[in-house]
Structure 1
Amino acid sequence: MKKVKWILFSFLLIGGSLLLQSCLDDDDNNDYNSLAITTIKVKAGQDYYFALDDGKKMLPGDTTSIHNYLVKDGQRAFVYFNLLEEKKEGYDYNAKVQYIENILTKSVIPMDEQTTDSIGDDRINIVDMWLGGGYLNIEFQLFGTQNIQKKHMLNLVRNERQ
């Protein structure tokens, strides 16, 4: 009986470690290895590159995975990519772009007597905040709802009330 328990324990240990290995190895499920927060810089027409927040430049050397992306100069974006080995002169990185997701950017809204009633007061939790690429980047959490009728708007305001 002791031998059966030992064999069963060994089988569960080996089988469990193989199952956990497959759950932890998520690289096969992603088409990209890296993510960057960038600002799109248009050189001419649809010719563009990504300005990284640390001042480096990344060339979208292979864009076969993205289709119908409207390039806009100054657009902030999350760029999912894989680095290519071939270097290009004038760029710090050369990348195969897998996906681009635009980031909403806004200006600061002055809060005065006229706008006080239109500014919401839902609380947010700021997870992280940093300056990069000339922008104030804020990672936040918002207590939301599954109700699609309830809309949320987030703005950074400057109090100009006396």
Structure 2
Amino acid sequence: MPGFCIFYTEINEKTLIMKKLHGLFMAICLAVIPALQSCDDVEGYSLGDMTPPLWATVRVTGSAFYLDCDVWGTLWPVNTNMGWYNPADGQRVITTFNPLWDNYEGFDHAVKILTLEQVLTKEVETLTPENDGDFGNDPVYGASMGISGGYMNLYFTQNLPAKTRHRISLVRPADDKELYGEDGYIHLELRYNTYDDVTGIPQPAVVSYNLNSLDMTSETKGIKLKLNSGEDGETEVVFERESPDDNTEKMRNLDLSKVQLK
């Protein structure tokens, strides 16, 4: 058979055994190769496939976990070398992965996780006259924001502190009438407190805010966000409901190990 050349000089018991093993090996190959070709044709994935950085939320189930990806849906990790990772339900992450199979045991995909970067995950807080000073209003530099998966995701450049972690907060007014404006938008504000502790060392930083506490009805047009931009001063960013954005274009090879935020 082409590709397999075995020569025998005499017929004996050892030779017969070798022939039987060779025949068994060929039978297995012929059975497996079409199946592999079929999987490749149907699924369209290979071990070389790799996604760009994507936002996802960790979901813990029993002693295991899966990812709810903003773009790909539910992902079941098949890695056997992730004993280092301690999953927390609701934790936001930026991940890249190798998709392996679709519709895997109730999940949208089975995947091999390639990178998994945990992101500071926070709730929307209430702004009052009493706590206004706690939130601060320092300028935020290099801000890039997007909304996906029920979260507002913020990428910016932090001027690293020497001692005190900076506080970065998404706040809402205490009065619901101010929160849910007559213009059909939800009104929020991004507040940043450096505590006057900066070193001049820039560091990419990321934070994700859970928007599930907000009452977003079918008539909600979107979100209007006030912030003190380091480039533009006091400004307002509008997020239309019908145009979600996962804003991960700057997040390749992202290292968040030096970020000092709370």
Q: TM-score when scaled to structure 1?
A: 0.64
Query: CA offset at residue 70 of structure 1?
Result: 0.9
> Equivalent residue for 2:77?
60
Q: Which deviates the most, 31-40 or 115-124?
A: 31-40
Query: CA offset at residue 86 of structure 1?
Result: 7.8
Q: Are 2:99 and 2:112, in contact at CA under 8 Å, matched by a contact in 1?
A: yes
Aligned partners of 2:96, 2:83: CA distance in 1, in Å? 14
Q: Are 1:126 and 1:138, in contact at CA under 8 Å, matched by a contact in 2?
A: no
Aligned partners of 2:59, 2:141: CA distance in 1, in Å? 32
- What are the ranges of 5 or more consecutive residues in structure 1 without an aligned counterpart? 1-30
Report SS of the residue matched to 1:155: strand
Report SS of the residue matched to 2:121: coil
> Equivalent residue for 1:148?
162
Report SS of the residue matched to 1:105: strand
Q: Which deviates the most, 53-62 or 125-134?
A: 125-134
> Equivalent residue for 1:80?
96
Where does 1:92-107 land on structure 2 (aligned, <5 Å)? 92-107=108-123
The one-letter code sitting in structure 2 at the alignment partner of 1:129 is M
Report SS of the residue matched to 2:169: coil
Where does 1:17-56 land on structure 2 (aligned, <5 Å)? 33-34=50-51, 35-46=53-64, 48-54=65-71, 56=73
2:85 to 50, 66, 69: 69
Report SS of the residue matched to 1:92: strand
The structure number with the bigger radius of gyration is: 2
- CA offsets 1:41-67 (integer angstroms, 9 cap, x no match): 222222x21111146111101242x33
Aligned partners of 2:133, 2:99: CA distance in 1, in Å? 48
The one-letter code sitting in structure 1 at the alignment partner of 2:54 is A
Aligned partners of 1:63, 1:72: CA distance in 2, in Å? 18
Query: CA offset at residue 93 of structure 1?
Result: 2.1
Aligned partners of 2:50, 2:72: CA distance in 1, in Å? 21
| Inter-CA distance 120–70: structure 2 relative to 1 (3 Å threshold) | same
Report SS of the residue matched to 1:106: strand
| Inter-CA distance 86–109: structure 2 relative to 1 (3 Å threshold) | closer
- What are the ranges of 5 or more consecutive residues in structure 2 without an aligned counterpart? 1-47, 179-262
Aligned partners of 2:165, 2:62: CA distance in 1, in Å? 38
| Inter-CA distance 136–86: structure 2 relative to 1 (3 Å threshold) | closer
Q: TM-score when scaled to structure 2?
A: 0.42
Q: Are 2:54 and 2:71, in contact at CA under 8 Å, matched by a contact in 1?
A: no
Aligned partners of 1:108, 1:87: CA distance in 2, in Å? 34
> Equivalent residue for 1:119?
135
Aligned partners of 1:75, 1:68: CA distance in 2, in Å? 16
